[in-house]
A and B are shown apart, each in its own frame.
Chain A
Amino acid sequence: MSIVVRDLSYRYPYSERDVIQGVDLRVDREEFVLLVGRSGCGKTTLARCLNGLIPHVFQGELRGSVLVDGVSVAETPVYELAKHVGMVFQNPDTQLCTLTVEEEVAFGPENLGVERGEIERRVNWALSSLGIQGLRRRATFSLSDGEKQKVAVASALSMLPSILVLDEPTANLDPRASRMLVDALRTLRDEYGTTIVLVEHRVERFAEVVDRVVVMASGRIIESGSPDIVTREAEVLERLSVQTPEIVEVCRALGLTSKRSPEELRRLALEKLARLKEGEAKFPTHSTERGKGEPILEVRDAVYDYGGGFTLRVNELELYRGEVVSIVGGNGSGKTTLAKLLVGLIKPKRGRVERAKNLKLGMVFQNFEVQLFNKSVFNEVAFQLRRRKASPEETRRRVNKVLDLMGLRNQAERHPHSLSQGEKQRVTLASLIAEKPDVLVLDEPTTGQDWYHLGLLVDAVERLRKRGVTVVLITHDLRFAARTAERTVILNNGEIVEVGDARKAFYNVEEKTGFEPPETVKLSKKVGLKNLIRPEDIRELLEAHQNQKSPLMA
């Protein structure tokens, strides 16, 4: 047994509640386990118990026992445990502490007093096991996020642990980098026999790579079983606010049962979709050419150089009133630069950006935390109103309205930085909405948000659209984009490779960016259907099909 957790309970210092209660967990040698649960379920806490951060660094009250490689965590200091358990954290930047990759990977063994020749050997091995020997002499700050995470893994590996624990390592990575990291982990296990515990709040991407899935909620382990449980027990997962795999939603839309393995479900879905195709159901047209009117923002022949020697080139891009546009692309494709161009934070080197007169623009940044700096949520939302010297009554009225809209009324007097991540994002959004912007840009709003908050975000976007706000969503989460967007712009290496109706664009997204399209798109393409990018579309298709068979009486 690699890891044995027995009846583990823990509470942080100054806390009145146990964050994990009576957890029992066993992980075999060379097993690859996925630990999932919504934010706050205790999975990060459990991870910290595996390498000694709890109880040695975080203090607090620990009851029960944790054994890794037969060694008791509570009785062994962290630096000793580091030889058994390596840990990789969520933020690529804040776990790298030296100036070059080589120094970084050598850091661990150096601390442990390993002899020089041995350090050299370990560094070589760690870098090659992840395929990053080429990065050896690079400076840490010049790496991409995906590269940084790989270096982080290598740095943990150089201490030769038999177990590797990763706490949401893909949170800041785009789908391609995520995939590469997880594949690398799988290789580690397959070739070197490392036991791996991967903690995530998203299941979809990872369930198929692991041996076992463990589900946590409210500090307890609820489910543990083969990866199939993500679909078979989808209802349980949903109640626990863990991400519902899209294949499950597709099957539900098709009126099929979802209590099967993912492969089974796909097979069934494909069968039914094929039948729908044969029936030649008429798909209700969702025309995005609905009286849009004049564009409120135009970009023409704009050129801008952004980091890493790339250039953003936009020949033609228009935004219309009250639409939802998603800008899709990987890290480094120029999305944020384009967003800044639209909002006016930067001006193009050549070309121009024309905006309608008095157009009000707002932007929520990816790390929205830096946009909050007032003493209370109320003050935060009221900030710009007060600067414009609006009257106290109007301020109060408007702020309360927005707070209600965002579900933040109860938090009005709290300090913004004492709130959860999801709440903070909504506060930032609220403070921008209070200014009644015409165009609102959201940069990677899905980062770090769990399924529940994503749902709230989708609702918020829809409500904004209904009020005539143009919402621009910058994201690499294609599933989220499919749920919300009407039009899509696909960026790759600074060029717009596709722009237009979302339904058309998603069908080409794989060729254009190398990203995996959402499940719905994958399935539809296989049977040759078009215009289906999300489960709701499938439901509409099914209904249309059924209505065709038995037309409604007028």
Chain B
Amino acid sequence: MLRRVGLSLDEGTVIHRLDPRVKLFAVVAVSVLSVLLSSLASILLLLALPVAVLVAARCLGRASILLLLFLAFSAAGMVVVYVTGIMSTLEFAKFFGRVFSVVCIGLAFSYSTSPSRFAKALEKLRFPRSVVFTLTLTLRFIPVFMDEARDLMDSLKVRGVDLGLKGILTSPRMVFRALVIPLMIRLTKTADDLASALEARGVGAPVKRTSLHELRFSRADVLFAALVLFSFVSLFLLDSSYFSWLDVALFWRFMI
């Protein structure tokens, strides 16, 4: 993940081809809904959309480790909560559900959106050009500096600078001097070089910027957005009136 900035791998699924703006809409919708919903049943249903998206993007495999970890922690938490009675277990389960759905849709977004498309989407969303430009630059240079940092740590080891926990504890000043100063030097040098190169490529031109590839809404995008909207509205409406039966049932059965 570190070298290949962004978690996205081009799997070529429908989800991958969707306009990032539509996917962002889905993320926001799920997040908002996760707070609005109050019954366990609707929260569990809410989980369905993100998981479906993950499956459709063929990312469930990669996501599974993260998700399993999440499940394990939450299961442990539920046990503790139940035993100690610190809070209502039902509430805790709902909390877990809310967070889980947000995490899932977030993962689905990250896994299926390439940094370049993301930047283009931001530009379409009227983010200032300077922000999008800088963002692309940052994404481009993360792997470069990762390598630099690795080289740096190697070369410091050779000079007897211990960067492990022991080193940090015994002489912290030296440790971060040795890390920060060379990195800052590299940074300044790179910035100088880059700034010159960019000027030479016409970055300062006062004309409207054009683009080789345009981002346009396709039928799939409209369908997906409609689906999300439909789920949002229906879950919200059904939530308060119809879905509390699960809560009530659990309460009576388990006194939770």
What residues of chain A have their CB less than 8 Å away from a CB belonging to chain B? 48, 51-53, 56-57, 77-79, 82-83, 86-87, 89, 91, 93-100, 102-103, 106-116, 119-120, 123, 139-141, 155-156, 159, 340, 343, 345, 361-363, 365, 367-374, 383-384, 387, 417, 431-432, 435
Contact B203 A111 (CB under 8 A): yes
Q: Which of B151, B183, B190, B208 gathers the greatest number of chain A CB atoms within 10 Å?
A: B151
Q: How far is the CA of A345 from the CA of B160 in the complex (A)?
A: 12
A82 with B201, Cβ < 8 A, contacts A119-B210, A417-B185 known: yes
Cβ proximity bits B174-195 to A, threshold 8 Å, 1 near / 0 not: 0001100111011001100111
CB neighbours of B52 from chain A (8 A): none
In the complex, besides A93-B190, A367-B151, 16 extra interface pairs with C-beta distance below 8 angstroms are A78-B200, A82-B202, A91-B193, A94-B189, A96-B140, A110-B209, A111-B202, A111-B203, A112-B207, A116-B214, A119-B210, A361-B158, A363-B158, A365-B151, A384-B159, A417-B185
Q: How far is the CA of A188 from the CA of B153 in the complex (A)?
A: 42
A365 with B154, Cβ < 8 A, contacts A53-B199, A98-B136, A106-B212 known: yes
CB neighbours of B148 from chain A (8 A): 367, 370
Q: How far is the CA of A123 from the CA of B211 in the complex (A)?
A: 12
A123 with B151, Cβ < 8 A, contacts A97-B140, A99-B136 known: no
B115 located at the interface, meaning its Cβ lies under 8 Å from any Cβ of chain A in the complex: yes
Q: How far is the CA of A113 from the CA of B209 in the complex (A)?
A: 5
B93 located at the interface, meaning its Cβ lies under 8 Å from any Cβ of chain A in the complex: no
Q: Which of B154, B186, B197 gathers the greatest number of chain A CB atoms within 10 Å?
A: B197
A94 with B190, Cβ < 8 A, contacts A89-B196, A140-B140 known: yes
Residues 131 to 169 of chain B near chain A (Cβ within 8 Å): 136-137, 139-140, 143-144, 148, 151-152, 154-160
CB neighbours of B203 from chain A (8 A): 79, 111
Task: For residue B143, give the distance in angstroms from its CB to the closest CB of chain A.
Answer: 4
CB neighbours of B190 from chain A (8 A): 93-94
Q: How far is the CA of A413 from the CA of B235 in the complex (A)?
A: 71
Quick one: which of B4, B196, B209 contacts A111, CB cutoff 8 A? B209
A370 with B140, Cβ < 8 A, contacts A89-B197, A103-B116 known: no
- 4 tightest A-B CB contacts, nearest first: A113-B207, A94-B193, A79-B205, A95-B197
Q: How far is the CA of A363 from the CA of B160 in the complex (A)?
A: 11
CB neighbours of A343 from chain B (8 A): 158
Contact B155 A431 (CB under 8 A): no
In the complex, residue of chain A having the shortest beta-carbon distance to the beta carbon of B214: A116
Task: For residue A111, give the distance in angstroms from its CB to the closest CB of chain B.
Answer: 4
In the complex, residue of chain A having the shortest beta-carbon distance to the beta carbon of B193: A94
A373 with B196, Cβ < 8 A, contacts A365-B154, A384-B159 known: no
In the complex, residue of chain B having the shortest beta-carbon distance to the beta carbon of A114: B210
In the complex, residue of chain A having the shortest beta-carbon distance to the beta carbon of B133: A97
Could you list some 15 contacts between A and B, CB below 8 A? A48-B196, A57-B195, A78-B202, A91-B193, A97-B137, A97-B194, A110-B211, A111-B203, A113-B207, A115-B210, A116-B214, A120-B212, A367-B151, A370-B185, A371-B156
Contact A95 B157 (CB under 8 A): no
Task: For residue A112, give the distance in angstroms from its CB to the closest CB of chain B.
Answer: 5
Task: For residue B195, give the distance in angstroms from its CB to the closest CB of chain A.
Answer: 7
CB neighbours of A109 from chain B (8 A): 210
Q: How far is the CA of A109 from the CA of B196 in the complex (A)?
A: 17
Q: How far is the CA of A345 from the CA of B156 in the complex (A)?
A: 11
In the complex, residue of chain A having the shortest beta-carbon distance to the beta carbon of B201: A108
A141 with B178, Cβ < 8 A, contacts A78-B199, A116-B212 known: no
Contact B159 A155 (CB under 8 A): no
Task: For residue B70, give the distance in angstroms from its CB to the closest CB of chain A.
Answer: 30
Task: For residue B129, give the distance in angstroms from its CB to the closest CB of chain A.
Answer: 11
In the complex, residue of chain B having the shortest beta-carbon distance to the beta carbon of A140: B140
Quick one: which of B116, B143, B178, B181 contacts A100, CB cutoff 8 A? B116
B124 located at the interface, meaning its Cβ lies under 8 Å from any Cβ of chain A in the complex: no
Quick one: which of A48, A103, A111, A113 contacts B201, CB cutoff 8 A? A111
Q: How far is the CA of A98 from the CA of B133 in the complex (A)?
A: 9
Contact B158 A93 (CB under 8 A): no
Q: How far is the CA of A356 from the CA of B174 in the complex (A)?
A: 30
Q: How far is the CA of A110 from the CA of B212 in the complex (A)?
A: 7
Main secondary structure of the interface of B (DSSP, over half): helix
B198 located at the interface, meaning its Cβ lies under 8 Å from any Cβ of chain A in the complex: yes
Q: How far is the CA of A156 from the CA of B202 in the complex (A)?
A: 10
Contact A372 B210 (CB under 8 A): no
CB neighbours of B137 from chain A (8 A): 97
CB neighbours of B152 from chain A (8 A): 370
B61 located at the interface, meaning its Cβ lies under 8 Å from any Cβ of chain A in the complex: no
Contact B194 A95 (CB under 8 A): yes
Q: How far is the CA of A107 from the CA of B212 in the complex (A)?
A: 9
Contact B185 A53 (CB under 8 A): no
CB neighbours of A98 from chain B (8 A): 116, 136, 140
B3 located at the interface, meaning its Cβ lies under 8 Å from any Cβ of chain A in the complex: yes
Contact B210 A116 (CB under 8 A): yes
Quick one: which of A56, A93, A384, A417 contacts B160, CB cutoff 8 A? A384
A119 with B212, Cβ < 8 A, contacts A141-B144, A370-B182 known: yes
B12 located at the interface, meaning its Cβ lies under 8 Å from any Cβ of chain A in the complex: no
Q: How far is the CA of A89 from the CA of B158 in the complex (A)?
A: 31
Task: For residue A515, give the distance in angstroms from its CB to the closest CB of chain B.
Answer: 25
In the complex, residue of chain B having the shortest beta-carbon distance to the beta carbon of A107: B201
B85 located at the interface, meaning its Cβ lies under 8 Å from any Cβ of chain A in the complex: no
A365 with B201, Cβ < 8 A, contacts A112-B207, A373-B178 known: no
In the complex, residue of chain A having the shortest beta-carbon distance to the beta carbon of B143: A141
Q: How far is the CA of A440 from the CA of B116 in the complex (A)?
A: 44
B204 located at the interface, meaning its Cβ lies under 8 Å from any Cβ of chain A in the complex: yes
CB neighbours of A107 from chain B (8 A): 201
Q: How far is the CA of A435 from the CA of B159 in the complex (A)?
A: 9
Contact B193 A97 (CB under 8 A): no
Task: For residue B159, give the distance in angstroms from its CB to the closest CB of chain A.
Answer: 6
Contact B196 A345 (CB under 8 A): no
In the complex, residue of chain A having the shortest beta-carbon distance to the beta carbon of B137: A97
CB neighbours of B201 from chain A (8 A): 82, 97, 107-108, 111, 155-156, 159
CB neighbours of A432 from chain B (8 A): 158-159
In the complex, residue of chain A having the shortest beta-carbon distance to the beta carbon of B191: A94
Task: For residue B114, give the distance in angstroms from its CB to the closest CB of chain A.
Answer: 8
Task: For residue A105, give the distance in angstroms from its CB to the closest CB of chain B.
Answer: 9
Contact A99 B140 (CB under 8 A): yes
Task: For residue B33, give the distance in angstroms from its CB to the closest CB of chain A.
Answer: 33
Q: How far is the CA of A53 from the CA of B140 in the complex (A)?
A: 24
Q: How far is the CA of A52 from the CA of B199 in the complex (A)?
A: 9
Task: For residue B6, give the distance in angstroms from its CB to the closest CB of chain A.
Answer: 9
Task: For residue B23, give the distance in angstroms from its CB to the closest CB of chain A.
Answer: 19
Quick one: which of A87, A99, A383 contacts B115, CB cutoff 8 A? A99
